């Protein structure tokens, strides 16, 4: 199930909502369910927040030795067009 972030629509106004929805909260919900409209605790209106996604950063290409240790088969292309196992 995906993780959605919500925050109160009146987050800037003091006393309008609970601590949880004024700071924002995360909630796991099935994809086929409609977005949450009210805070589960205080029943004030909330809106879904577009959050950051986590993308892996590649620091360097994998070396032949690292690839072999990880269980990959390493092939090298020869002049005649055939591949040879290293």
Asked whether residue 9 is domain-assigned, the answer is yes
pLDDT one-digit tens code per residue, 26-44: 888 888 888 888 888 888 8
Mean pLDDT by 10 residues, the chain (86 residues): 82 72 86 86 87 72 84 89 87
Range of the domain at 41: 3-49
pTM of the model: 0.53
Asked whether residue 68 is domain-assigned, the answer is no
CA atoms of 1 and 30, how far apart (whole Å):
5
Number of domains the chain is built from: 1
For the residues of the chain, what is the DSSP string, one character each? --EEEEEETTTTSTTSS-HHHHH-EEEE--TTSPPP-B-TTT--BEEEEP-----PPP-SPPPHHHHHHTTPPPEEE-TTS-EEE-
């Amino acid at each position: 199930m995906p993780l959605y972030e919500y925050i109160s629509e009146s987050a800037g106004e003091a006393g309008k909502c609970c601590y949880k929805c004024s700071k924002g909260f995360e909630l796991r919900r099935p994809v086929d369910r409609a977005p949450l409209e009210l805070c589960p605790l205080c029943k004030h209106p909330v809106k879904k927040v577009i959050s950051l996604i986590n993308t892996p950063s590649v620091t360097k290409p994998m070396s032949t030795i690292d690839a072999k240790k990880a269980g990959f088969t390493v092939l090298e292309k020869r002049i005649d067009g055939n591949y040879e196992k290293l």
